Structure 1
Amino acid sequence: MTLTDIAVQNLQRRKGKTIFLLLTFILVVGLTVTLNTLAKSMRDDLQKSLTQYGANVVITPKSEHFTLSYGGLSVPGVNYEIKRLNYNIVAKLENDQELAINGIAPKIIGSVAGGKKRYLIIGVDFSSELKMKPWWHIQGQEPRDREVIVGSDLARQEALVIGNTLELNHQKYPVVGIMQETGGSEDNGVFTNFKTSRTLTGIDSWSMIELNTTQPDKTAALLSELLPEAKVAELSQLVQGAKESVDRFANFSLFASILLGVIGVLIVFVTTTGNINNRVAEIGIFRAIGFRRRHILSLLIREIALVSIFGGVLGYLLGKLTPTLLGPIVFQKTVSFQVHPLMALATICGSVLIGVLSVLSCKRAVDLDPLVALSSI
């Protein structure tokens, strides 16, 4: 019979204490893995949203602003030395691999006189724009040359439907589509392609360039050096609230994991110490029949190692399954079940390390003289 066989039999004889220790490892590891899995999933979802949807960096022409003040009373100022965003900027951005750009959406924005008022003209590349803004939905078709799409509010105000015409610069332009309501300034705009917008507005440079990049802060810093004639802004405010919520939950997960770890260590140490101290007579018998100190220490380590390994494995699986099963119900989000080998190895090794240290802290009972141990029988 090997020491491992004896360790297994000892665990079977003390089912209550074995189950208690096993549940301690399972709950501590399971809760820790659950919290960290949810935090990682939220971070991944946020990063995915930043990568796939919407612009997070905006480039606009740089201008100097002059403000007047008379007697402490400020009056509206004027912009001067307005720079231009030449058309070759887009090609420059597309060819720069260091920027890590996922999407580019340049625009030509201006105003044009109509029959009764002035209209906001927005020239875009619809293929690029719809990829960056999946919430845009067009009833009708994309405009070709000398065709336009109108925003939902503008269509409602002027009773425009597909097939009508809109007078711009004393010329008629067919309305081939209506932009569904977005809740933004697009609802009052007139959309067309670049060629038609240049003809209508007379603008021969980009009014704005929206970018989607995986690293908006780094990209914004690089663009400020690459394009001195432009003003580069990172739209961090669009996701600042979500990012702060994710960071708070991640910090809470870290704090809770540390707290659970401390509680688990204390429970394991107290339980193991009490268990070994109650087995002084058993240890004395082992010593009397020829077991050496290292044999007894090895036996105790094998017992706690078996419990901690099973507890770590079951706790890790529980921690991965819980977000997958309860995520759609409790957190209103789907969390896929994924096994991370490094996390699994770290949690199992941590469990075993805690168990082994709890046994080593009771080395005094192992070193007890056999006669003293037998005298307690």
Structure 2
Amino acid sequence: MEKEGDNIWTIKNRENLATVSSKLLGAVDIEGETVLVVGADLSTEIKLKKWWKFTNESDVKLTRVEKPSPIDPTKTATVTEIEGLKENDVIIGSKVAEKLNKNPGDNLKINGSEFNIKGVIMETGSQDDSIIFMNLKTAQKLLGKEGKITLVEVAAICSGCPVEEMARQINEAVPEGKATPIKQVVAQKMQTINQLSSFGLAVGAIVLLIGSLIVFTTMMSSVNERTREIGIFRAIGFRRTHIIKIILMEALILSFISGIVGYALGMCTALLAGSKVAGMEVSIPFDPYLAVGALALAVLVGTLSTIYPALRASKIDPAEALRQI
């Protein structure tokens, strides 16, 4: 696929092409953190992402050099390159630098190989903050995928380019791949996300309803089985409010424990399912607000579902209950 990517420069509208960047994506484990690695031509990547800014300590200096034009090798074209860039140089996002406590000039060990941090990208607010960028050939060797790429990013040089037509031409030039305009990709992803969100809300509502019914029936059965016990409590002086407090306290404790177990199982399932769906290792950070919210919801559902059984238990006639002893 890597060599076929060069065929993009042969399309009819090649004069409208600004950059063609082949990329390889993969996940690596560094000091217990799972980090996404992107192999690409770093100079081209900087040209594509003009909004990148580097920390003051970064050694990322750009220079312009003359090279054979990819459109017509008999001609030359001025391209931007990074001064002194070596094969083991990497550029890392701000979040990666923060997690690993790394600065420009530090060494970084990945899968047994040593790399030098050439620069740190200042926070962009995008996924680039959590990525390590390196030379494409180096990434292919590191990930054991020589000659392979994940995608080719193409940028046009004009504002009114026939994007759909160029995508069709690229599909013809590279039949093994699929060219999709970025606006179409974004629209498709947003539609998928909205559908998944709606589906998730519907499933969540159904699960809450089923959970409430299970708690309700369980507590009702418990009250029926403990009629004699509750009758004795009432006979020795326990008030109705005492009985209600006992039942609700039991429900609160059980709901709290269930919430902890449910949150832990949910995190484990998300990690396993995420790896299967994404086809790579994923990292789901612990969110204290989500954990507290899940526990609060579990306690709320359990308590509300127990109110009626608790009220019914408090109304048990002590005399009637004692006859069953």
Question: What TM-score does the superposition give when structure 2 sets the normalisation length?
Answer: 0.49
Tell me: higher relative CO, structure 1 or 2? Use CA pairs within 8 A at least 6 residues apart.
Answer: 1
User: Larger radius of gyration, structure 1 or 2?
Assistant: 1
